Amino acid sequence: MDKNYIIFMVSALVKSICLVVAILIAVAYLTIVERKVMGSIQRRLGPNAVGFYGLMQPFADALKLFLKEQVIPSTSNRNLFLGAPMLTLALAFIGWVVIPLGKGVVISDLNLGIVFLLAVSSFGVYGIVFSGWAANSKFALMGSLRSTAQMISYEVALSLLILPVLMCSETLNLTLIAESQKAIWYVVPLLPIALMFYISMLAETNRAPFDLPEAESELVAGFMTEHSAFPFAYFFLGEYGNMILISTLGSFLFLGGYQPVIGISSLSLSLGLKTTLLLFGMVWVRATLPRYTYKDLMRLMWKSFLPLSIAFVPLVLALLQILT
């Protein structure tokens, strides 16, 4: 076997392990940031007992989930029931393969990076469908059907809203998209598209006010109702991992990616701050807005976002032709 090939494989493996560990730590502290911010908005303290200022709370929660008894319904399809959470978590990690954390700091700098991310996100529906069907529970099935309809619907809007960015940058490569925003971030000329993209991000990740697949007052925990212990933890990690992934994608599309912010020279830190800003918005929305009804959720997509996103494509193309 070629020596260079072995070095390449070992390097890719080390990068992947470091990336997975970093994502898990980010997910752990995203949960406590969410609980702290929501507590502050709602005039509560939030977690503050485990460790200094509650900073060890995520690890205590993880230990609790992995030590709890795993309950598998006797009428469920065992293989799919256990495989669905693993698929959801794996897809949350796979998308990071094409995300550059800095100039040249990427596992695989694909020229079709955006297409790869859209393909990976579309596979996320399968984990949710499998979990709802395999559990043999009406709550889980209804939650999975809701989530599937919601994710497929808003993927259409997301794809169309990405097109104007691709036309402006003339590339599908995330690194080149970031480099094309050295002069001005796309959020400035494409502000309405950026706002629609952000709302679609909330719906795509099943976040409030679009958290209908997990509506506690109606469906207990939605497609995760019958899962417990580490399968539930896999779903939990996958959900928050997808939040970080899609927020990072939003940073690349509209906020310049790793392009430096004023006063910050570190590219990775700049990207982290932009992603954190988008994640903070998700938490803020959850703490302040009531849940949509399902008919309003679908009406927003098919009667508002879809016509607008279709209309913006020729409009941006026409403006680019005029300006060039």
> Mapping DSSP to helix (H, G, I), strand (E, B) and coil, where does residue 105 land?
strand
User: Bridge-partner residues for 260, per DSSP?
Assistant: none
What pLDDT does 197 receive? Answer: 95
Out of 1-5, 123-127, 140-144, least confident range: 1-5
Which band of pLDDT confidence, cut at 50, 70 and 90, is reported for residue 220?
low
Which band of pLDDT confidence, cut at 50, 70 and 90, is reported for residue 217?
low
| Range with the largest mean pLDDT of 207-216, 247-256, 295-304 | 247-256
Percent of the chain clearing pLDDT 90 (strictly above): 35
83 pLDDT exceeds 60?
Answer: yes
Q: What is the pLDDT of residues 156-203, one digit of tens each?
A: 889 999 999 999 999 999 999 999 999 899 999 999 999 999 999 998
What pLDDT does 215 receive? Answer: 66
Q: What is the pLDDT of residues 298-314, one digit of tens each?
A: 898 989 999 999 999 99
What pLDDT does 141 receive? Answer: 83
290 pLDDT exceeds 90?
Answer: no
1 pLDDT exceeds 60?
Answer: no
Q: What is the pLDDT of residues 9-62, one digit of tens each?
A: 787 788 788 888 889 899 988 999 999 999 988 888 888 888 888 888 988 888
| pTM of the complete model | 0.92
Domain of 78 in residue numbering reads as 3-323
- Number of domains the chain is built from: 1
Which band of pLDDT confidence, cut at 50, 70 and 90, is reported for residue 110?
confident
Neighbours of 311 (CB within 10 A): 11
Distances (CA, A) of 112 to 108, 116, 145: 11, 6, 30
